[in-house]
Structure 1
Amino acid sequence: MNKKNLEQTELSYYGLYLLNYLKENKFEQASDAAFVKARADEAAEAYERARLEGYTPDGAQEIAMSTLVHGLHYSRYAILREVVESEFHEEIPEDAREGFVEKLLPLVGNVFSIYDLSDDQFALSSDYDLLYTELTGAVVLYLREYGI
C-alpha cells in the first residue's frame, strides 16, 4: 500500500470529510496532513463534548462539522471560479474554465493577500464585494493581454 492510501485509510470520518472538502475546493491545506489530523481530532472532541452536554447526535454532529470547517468557507480557487463562471461565462467556454482558473490563480495571489478569507461571514461583507470586483478586473486584464 502506498503512503497516500495508507494515510487516507488511517483518517477518521472527519479527517476524510475534511480532506475531500479541502481538495474539492483546492485549499492550500489539502496537502497538510498534520492540519487535517488536528482539525479532525478537534471535531471528534467537539462531538464527544456536545454529547456529554446532552446534545442529540444530530446537534453534536452539527457542532463537530462547524469545528471541522471553521475558517475554511472561502477558498481562493472557489472565489475565482465563481467570478469566472458568473462574469465570463460567454468569454470562457465551460470546458476551459477549470484550467483557466488554475492558470490564473497564482497570478492573482496578491489580490487575495489583503482579505481575511477565514472570516466565516466574509461573503456578507463589503470586503467580499471589493475582492470580487478586483478579481473581475484582473480577469479582464488577463484576457485582454493573453486571451484564454
Structure 2
Amino acid sequence: MDKNLNNKDLSYFRLRLQELLITSFPEKSGDSKFIERRATLASNAYQGAFSSGNSIEDCNQIAEFILFEGLHFSKFDTVFQIVCNEFDTLMADDDLRPFAIEMLSVCEPYFENYELTDDFAYTYDFDTLYTELTGVISLYIEEHGL
C-alpha cells in the first residue's frame, strides 16, 4: 500500500477537526486531548476501512463520522447567528464574533433546557430557543451595554 496515496495522515484529521472547532466550537478549540483522541480514532478508522477494501469515498465517510461525531449542532453558531441577525446594527462587523463568544457563556444555561441533537436546528424547539436567547442577549445589552 502506498501510504502517501491511501493512508490519511493523522495531521490531516487533526487539522480538519481544529478548523471546525475554531469556527463553530471555540469553547473546545483548545482541548488538545479531545482533538488528538478524535484525530487518532478517525485516522485508525480510515486505515481500517481502507485495509478492508472500502473505496476512498467510503473510508472518508467512516473517518468523518467518527471525527465529527456529536459536533453537528453548535451552540456558538446559534448564538453567533442571533447576534448577526438581531444585533448587527449595534456594533461593527469585526465586533460580532467576539461579542458572540462573550454571549456564549451568558446563554449556556438556556441550552440545558433542550435536547441538542444533530438535527435540533430544524425543530420547533430551535425557534423557541432562538427567541429565548434573543431576549437574553437583549437584556444583557440593556444591563451591561456593549
TM-score range, shorter chain: 0.7 to 0.9
User: Per the alignment, do residues 35 and 97 of structure 1 end up closer, same or farther by CA in structure 2, a change over 3 Å counting?
Assistant: same
Q: CA deviation at 1:53?
A: 4.2
8 Å contact kept, 2:83–2:96: yes
TM-score normalised by structure 2 residue count? 0.80
8 Å contact kept, 2:79–2:133: yes
User: Per the alignment, do residues 99 and 63 of structure 1 end up closer, same or farther by CA in structure 2, a change over 3 Å counting?
Assistant: same
Q: Residue 70 of structure 2 corresponds to which residue in structure 1?
A: 71
Percent sequence identity over matched residues?
35
Q: Residue 123 of structure 2 corresponds to which residue in structure 1?
A: 125
Q: Residue 93 of structure 1 corresponds to which residue in structure 2?
A: 92
Of the structure 1 ranges 78-87 and 52-61, higher mean CA displacement relative to structure 2 is found in: 52-61
Q: Residue 14 of structure 1 corresponds to which residue in structure 2?
A: 13
8 Å contact kept, 2:73–2:119: no
Q: How far does the alpha carbon of each residue in 1:55-107 deviate from its partner, in whole angstroms, 9 at most, with x for none?
A: 31122112211220111122322210011111222233312212221222222
Code of the aligned partner of 1:101: A
Aligned residue pairs total 138
Query: 1: distance between equivalents of 2:101 and 2:28?
Result: 16
Runs of 4+ in structure 1 displaced over 4 angstroms? Answer: none
Match of 2:142 among 110, 127, 144: 144
Structure 1, unpaired ranges of 5+: 1-10
Q: Residue 6 of structure 2 corresponds to which residue in structure 1?
A: none
SS at match of 2:28: helix
Query: 2: distance between equivalents of 1:64 and 1:39?
Result: 10
Query: 2: distance between equivalents of 1:86 and 1:12?
Result: 36
Q: CA deviation at 1:47?
A: 1.5
Code of the aligned partner of 2:128: L
TM-score normalised by structure 1 residue count? 0.79
Q: Residue 113 of structure 1 corresponds to which residue in structure 2?
A: 112
Query: 2: distance between equivalents of 1:48 and 1:130?
Result: 43
Q: CA deviation at 1:140?
A: 1.6
Query: 2: distance between equivalents of 1:96 and 1:38?
Result: 33
Structure 2, unpaired ranges of 5+: 1-9
